[in-house]
Structure 1
C-alpha cells in the first residue's frame, strides 16, 4: 500500500520525466515555424533541438555525480527551477541565437531532472515496488514524446511559437511544489569533493562525440573525423585523470561490476534500435507505402502510444518475474519484431509495418523498466546520482549513435544518393537491411545479458 508521501514523491518524479521528454518532442514540431519567425535556414534552426540534446548528453553524468555531492533533492529543485526559468527565456528570445542559448540552459536543467529522477526512485520507493516505479517513469517519458507533436501543433496554431515553451512554466512550478512537500530531505553526512577537472574533460569529450555523430547526418567528412578523434583522445585523458583523482567523477572500479556494465551496454544497443524506427520509419511510410505526412505521423505515433500503455504493466511484471527474466523477455520480443520487419512483404502495407513496430516498442518498454531496475536497485545512496547519469548517458549515446549508424545503413541499403528520389522498392530494401542490422544489435544485447547473468552466478557461488 502506497503512502501519501510516496504517491506525492512519485508524482513529482513523473512530472520531471514528462517535462524533460516533452522538451525534445514539442520543440521538434516547432522547427518550421521558428525558421519562418526568425527568417533562418533549417541548418541554423535545427540547433534549437541540437543544443538541448547536446547539453543533456554532455552533462548528464557530471550532474549525476554533483547530486551525490550536494544532495539529490536539492539538485533536482535547482534543475527544475533552471528548466522553468530557461523556458521563459526561450519564449522571450528576440533572436535565434539567444533562443539557442536559452535551449542550452533548458537542456542543462533537463539533464539534472533526468539524472536526479532515477537517483531518487530508490529513496522514495521500496525495492519491492521499484519495477512499477520504473514502469511509471517509462510511461511518462513515452507520453511526453507522443504528446509533444500534437500539443505543440495546437499551441503554435492558437498562441504562436512562444507557447510551446511557456507551457512548461506551470508544470515546472507544480513539480517544484511537489518536490518541496514530498521528496525526502537530503542527508547531511560529509560528502566527497567534486572532480572539476574530470568533469570538464568528460563534458568536452562527450560533446565532441555527440557533434561527430550529429553533424552531417551520417556523412563523415574531415570535421566529423577530427571530432571523433578528439573524443577518443579525450576518453583516454579522462581515464588517466580518474585513476589519479582522490575523489573521481566516475570510479572506474564501478565499470568492473559486470551487471552494471552489461546494463549500460545493453541500454546503448537497444536504444540504437529504437532510433532506427524514428530514422527509417518516415521514409518507408511516405516513400514505399505512399502515405501522406498526416498518415505517416499517425503511424509513427503508434510506438510512443504503445510504450505509454505498456509501461506500467511492464513495471508490474518486473516486480513479479524479476529484473533479469523480464529484461530477457523484453529483448526477445524486440528481436521477434526486428526480424519480422525485413521478412514482411511490402504488399502487406501499413499493418505489415505497425505489428512488428508494436512488438519492438512493447519489448523495449519491458526491457527499459527491467534494466533500469536492475541497474539502480542495489546502488548505494552515495553513488545513485552518477550511476543514474551513466544510465542516462548510455541511452543518449545509443540514440545519437543509432541515428548516425542506422541512417548510414539505410542509405547503403537503398543504394540511392538521394533518398527523397529513391524508388519504393529501393527504400524497402534499405529498411530491410536496417532492421537486419537492428536484429543483430538486439542479439548482441541478449548475449551480453546471458553472459552477465552467468558471471553473476559464478561470482555468487565463489563467495
Structure 2
C-alpha cells in the first residue's frame, strides 16, 4: 500500500486540536489525580476506606453511565456546545469538591465532575474528524492518545506533590486553570465544527457498516481488559516476585503509560500513511507477543523480564488505540459521530472494569493463595503467568474479532 501525502495543518486546525487535547488531558487527570489522596481523605473526614473509596467510584460510575448520552446530546444539540458545557461542569464541580465541608459533599462533587468528564470523553474524539483534514485524522487520534496516556501517568504523581505541599483540597483546585484553558481553546472552534445535524431517529442505528462498529467496540473492550493486567497484577508481581521497593515499583509501573505517550503520535502518523487496518493488526500482534513473553518469562530474567515485554505490549496498545478509533469514527455517519465516540468510551471503561475483576481473579487462582501480599515469590509468579496467559488469549481474540469484522464489511 503506497504511503499517503499528508496535507498541511491550518492554523485553525491547530487551535482546534490544542483545545481537544486539553479537554482530553483534563478528563485523564480527573480520573487519577484523586486516587492518591484517599488515605488523606479518610483521615480528614474520619471515614473508613469503604466510604472514602466512593470519591473514586462516583467519578467512574458517572463517566460510564453518561458517556453515551453525552455523545447523543452532542449529535442533537451541537458537539462543540455540549463539549463546552462538559468542560464548564467539570470545572465548577472541581471547585465545589475543593470547598467540600463533608465527605458526602465531596462524593456528590466527584459524581458531577464525572458527568462533565463524560462529555469530554465522548466528544473530543467525535470532533477530530471535523477539526483537522481527513489525511491528518490518524495523527490527531495519536496525539489524543498520547495526551490521555500522559494524563494517566501524571495524575498520581501530580496528586502526590500537591497533597504533600498543599493538602487534599489542592487535588480539586488544580484542574481549574486547565479547564479555563480548555474553554478558551474549544471556544475558538468554528461553530460548524460539531454543529448539530438533525437526527433521523433517536435509535442507535449508528453506522452503515454495523459489523464494523461492533467489531471496533469489541476490540476496544478486549484490549482495555488486557491492559488492566499490568495495573492489577503488575504491582504484586514487582513487589512479591521480584522484591522491589515502592519507589522502584513506581518507576517500573510508569514505563507503560510513558511508552504509550511516546508511541501515540507516531502511531497516528502511521495510520495516516499506511492505513488503519495494517497498523491495527501490527498493534494487536505486538500486544499478544508482549503478553506471551510476560506469561512465559522466568523469574531469573528479573525486572527486565517484566519491563521489556511491558514496553512491547503498551506500544502495541497505543497502535491499536490510534488505528481502531480512527477506523471506527471514519465509518460513522457524520450525524452519529458523537454517539459512536461515546460508545468507544463506554467500551473502554467496561473493558477496564471487567479486566480489573477478571485479571485479579485469575491471578489469585493461579497463585493458589488467598493473600498475595504474604505469598512466596514462586506463587506470585505463577499467578502472574496465569493472568498474562489469559491476556494473551484476549489479545488474540481481538485479532480474530477484527478479522471477522473486516470480512463482514468487505
TM-score by length of 2: 0.96
Deviation at 1:255, TM superposition (A): 9.1
SS of the aligned residue for 1:451 comes to helix
Corresponding residue number in structure 1 for 2:4: none
SS of the aligned residue for 1:443 comes to helix
SS of the aligned residue for 1:301 comes to helix
Q: Does 1:248 align with 2:255?
A: no
2-structure distance, mates of 1:17, 1:255: 28
Cα 1:88–1:153, aligned 2, differ >3 Å: closer, same or farther? same
Check conservation: 2:127, 2:193, Cα contact below 8 A.
no
Among candidates 27, 48, 53, match of residue 34 of structure 2? 27
Corresponding residue number in structure 1 for 2:55: 48
Cα 1:315–1:124, aligned 2, differ >3 Å: closer, same or farther? same
Corresponding residue number in structure 1 for 2:112: 105
Corresponding residue number in structure 1 for 2:198: 191
Deviation at 1:380, TM superposition (A): 2.1
Corresponding residue number in structure 2 for 1:286: 239
Deviation at 1:180, TM superposition (A): 1.4
Corresponding residue number in structure 1 for 2:267: 314
Q: Does 1:155 align with 2:162?
A: yes
SS of the aligned residue for 2:34 comes to helix
Cα 1:413–1:187, aligned 2, differ >3 Å: closer, same or farther? closer
Cα 1:119–1:188, aligned 2, differ >3 Å: closer, same or farther? closer
Check conservation: 1:127, 1:377, Cα contact below 8 A.
no
What's the CA shift string for 1:157-193, capped at 9, x where partnerless?
A: 111111111111111011101111234446767634x
- Which has the higher mean CA deviation after the structures are superposed, 26-35 or 175-184? 175-184
After superposition, residues 218-237 of structure 1 pair within 5 angstroms as none
SS of the aligned residue for 1:68 comes to helix
Q: Does 1:130 align with 2:137?
A: yes
Cα 1:52–1:255, aligned 2, differ >3 Å: closer, same or farther? farther
2-structure distance, mates of 1:444, 1:304: 23
1-structure distance, mates of 2:133, 2:68: 25
2-structure distance, mates of 1:188, 1:314: 29
Cα 1:187–1:84, aligned 2, differ >3 Å: closer, same or farther? closer
2-structure distance, mates of 1:358, 1:36: 37
What's the CA shift string for 1:201-258, capped at 9, x where partnerless?
A: xxxxxxxxxxxxxxxxxxxxxxxxxxxxxxxxxxxxxxxxxxxxx933422x749611
Cα 1:190–1:359, aligned 2, differ >3 Å: closer, same or farther? closer
2-structure distance, mates of 1:118, 1:98: 31
2-structure distance, mates of 1:277, 1:187: 36
Query: What is the root-mean-square deviation of aligned Cα atoms in Å?
Result: 1.4
Cα 1:189–1:139, aligned 2, differ >3 Å: closer, same or farther? closer
Cα 1:398–1:255, aligned 2, differ >3 Å: closer, same or farther? farther
Check conservation: 2:223, 2:351, Cα contact below 8 A.
yes
TM-score by length of 1: 0.85
Corresponding residue number in structure 2 for 1:208: none
Matched residues, number: 403
Cα 1:418–1:174, aligned 2, differ >3 Å: closer, same or farther? same
Check conservation: 1:124, 1:184, Cα contact below 8 A.
no
Deviation at 1:103, TM superposition (A): 0.1
Q: Does 1:85 align with 2:39?
A: no
Corresponding residue number in structure 2 for 1:432: 385
Deviation at 1:126, TM superposition (A): 1.6
2-structure distance, mates of 1:145, 1:62: 24
What's the CA shift string for 1:291-345, capped at 9, x where partnerless?
A: 1111111110100000111100011111111001100000000111000011111
Cα 1:189–1:444, aligned 2, differ >3 Å: closer, same or farther? closer
2-structure distance, mates of 1:367, 1:287: 31
Check conservation: 2:77, 2:195, Cα contact below 8 A.
no
What's the CA shift string for 1:127-182, capped at 9, x where partnerless?
A: 21110000000000000000111111111111111111111111101110111123
Q: Unaligned regions of 5+ residues in structure 1, if any?
A: 193-245, 458-463
Corresponding residue number in structure 2 for 1:66: 73
Q: Does 1:259 align with 2:212?
A: yes
Deviation at 1:379, TM superposition (A): 1.8
Corresponding residue number in structure 2 for 1:215: none
Cα 1:338–1:187, aligned 2, differ >3 Å: closer, same or farther? closer
Q: Does 1:4 align with 2:11?
A: yes
SS of the aligned residue for 1:29 comes to helix
